[in-house]
Structure 1
């Protein structure tokens, strides 16, 4: 009788372990609901990188997408900002919002930047805006990198 009781106790413990394992690792089967409204809240972005002395050239490439270029004074201010040695490196810093004309309509381009200081100053710019603007910028940036052979 002791053997039979021990066997039943073993089966109960074993089935409890299986049930607990299934419960703990089986929660992945919970359906994920895709919310299309969330997609509209996430801005689209692209990026371009440049050495400190190449920032005007990078913004000239960006400006080719718009009907009028980003002001030279703004580009100079960005270059001066990036040369500040007190900036935290590898942290996305907000640069500003630029009102631009894209295909005849006004829109806003938001620019953020990360600064790296290894063998000189290197800046990674994030360009955030409307989907069609970002896609056009991305296409132009890819063409620019192809021209450079990168």
Structure 2
């Protein structure tokens, strides 16, 4: 069975994230979307909230699971017996840092390859940070995130 890990903060999940998850699900028997704790980010949603928003967003993909982890991605990949780490690329600027991480991950866990999936051109401008900034100021995000995510963001920012 081919198992792939798709890691990220997913704060919040966007249509760009879903594009990568859907495409990964066509290639691998099982894709685990792994929500990671990133101490360098100040998340809008808790880990549990992000997992629930993701589960709702990928419920149409039977071979996709949602989980979370702390620590090193390679340790999590090893625990899950994953042979592939999926990384989405929006632009050339993403490639340099992602290539560096892929090389380090391969050094620490040779059994896992990193697969770069370029995002659909419709989402190449999209990031969770931009979506949060737009929503924070009451701007339209319906074309950027699933409906349930938009509602959750509106609720968070109304408090």
TM-score by length of 1: 0.29
TM-score by length of 2: 0.28
Q: Compare the two structures and name the one with the higher strand fraction.
A: 1
Structure of larger gyration radius: 1
Q: Compare the two structures and name the one with the higher helix fraction.
A: 1
